[in-house]
Amino acid sequence: EIEQWWLHAMNHCMRLNCLLSDQKKFRKKAIRKFLVLTMWQGALVNEHLLQEDWMKDSRVLVGM
């Protein structure tokens, strides 16, 4: 139960980071994509199979 809660919380944080990196919507206040990519590197499920710009894909999950 705790593991599921943790994964849900991490997935929520990752999705929020991806949304906040939208340059069109947030302009100067947007988080840099490079920061989001490096922050989540190594924490994603099947990361080697993801497309290069996975931040717009809603099917990306954090794994343990």
Has residue 54 got a pLDDT over 80? no
What local confidence, expressed as pLDDT, does residue 31 receive? 93
Has residue 64 got a pLDDT over 60? no
Query: For the chain, what is the mean pLDDT?
Result: 85
Type of residue numbered 28: K
Q: Model pTM?
A: 0.74
Percent of the chain with pLDDT over 90: 31
Q: Average pLDDT in the 5-24 region? A: 90
Coil, strand, or helix at residue 44? Answer: strand
Long-range contacts of 2-8 (CB under 8 A, 24+ apart): 3/64, 6/64, 7/61, 7/62, 7/63, 7/64
**How would residue 58 be classed by pLDDT, with cut points 50, 70 and 90?**
low
50 and 57 Cβ atoms separated by less than 8 Å: yes
**Rg of the Cα trace of the chain?**
12
- Per-domain boundaries in the chain: 2-56
